[in-house]
Amino acid sequence: MLKTFAPLLLALALVANASAATEDLTLKADDGVTIYGKLYSADHPKAIILLFHQAGSNSAEYAPIAPKLVEMGFSALAIDQRAGGNMFDHTNQTVKHLGHAAEYLDAQKDLEAAFAWAKRQNLPIVIWGSSYSSSLVFLLAAKHPGEIKALLSFSPGEYLGQDGMVKAAAAKDDLPIFVTEAKDKEEIAKATPIFAASPAAVKVQFIPAVAGVHGSSTLRADRNAKGMAENWQAVTAFLGKVFP
């Protein structure tokens, strides 16, 4: 009987632990906008990872991703950016309270607010973006040289309305970077010039062999059942290089 119910009991315990390790958080951007987020806390974290979502999305994009990062020893903050929406059956609280969805570049203020909060935690900082925010993280790193430990970018491109802006920012980023995209010629073509521009000594461009989807959803079983494990393996290997 114990063997029969052991997997279920373990699953319930993991859910309980994940719930106990999360808390809602609000930040204030420098223009006064309130940014809503969720903090996933690890015991004795080796770093804080800032998780930024794709267009039309929100912090729930990372609901199945952040707990895995906690298991790896990282705390993580996922925010609702002002350029977003209600994907993943979750209301983007920042957009709701602001009253409208903003433009992609406007959300840079939200990334800056999360970064300012992370600096106060006195931990190494890792920044992680998905789709449009995977482009914004290059701008964030370029603005704060030497203050960010590593950067992960899921499906970047010149999405910000000024051709070459992201590539120019990447050319200033010498921190370790990880870039990945869906197994798609168009996505690869968008990401490769940005990746190539970085002078980083540690840089990985991961193109999935099995399957990949746009943005951080490539790590979600409900979006990429076939390729999720392969993509997680690449992310884990990169973080292992940065935090041996």
In this prediction, residue 3 carries a pLDDT of: 38
Amino acid 21: pLDDT: 80
Q: Tokens 């790896």, residue? A: 72
Could you list the beta-strand ranges (E) of 120-165: 125-130, 150-154
In degrees and rounded to multiples of 5, residue 241 shows phi and psi of -70, -40
Architecture of domain 21-242: 3-Layer(aba) Sandwich (3.40)
Bridging pattern class, strands 34-40 and 74-80: antiparallel
Beta-carbon-side half-sphere exposure of residue 144 (alpha carbons within 13 Å): 19
* Rounded-to-integer distance, Cα 153 and Cα 140, Å: 12
Q: Dihedral sign, CA of 142, 146, 171, 228?
A: negative
- Half-sphere exposure at residue 32, Cβ-oriented, CA atoms within 13 angstroms: 1
pLDDT at 9: 36
CA 50-10-60 angle, to 5 degrees, is: 30
| Per-domain residue ranges of the chain | 21-242
Helix (H) / strand (E) element for 180: namely strand 177-180
**pLDDT recorded at residue 84:** 98
**Confidence (pTM):** 0.92
Per-residue pLDDT of the chain (244 residues; tens, 9 = 90+): 333 334 333 333 444 344 448 999 999 999 999 999 999 999 999 999 999 999 999 999 999 999 999 999 999 999 999 999 999 999 999 999 999 999 999 999 999 999 999 999 999 999 999 999 999 999 999 999 999 999 999 999 999 999 999 999 999 999 999 999 998 999 999 999 999 999 999 999 999 999 999 999 999 999 999 999 999 999 999 999 999 9
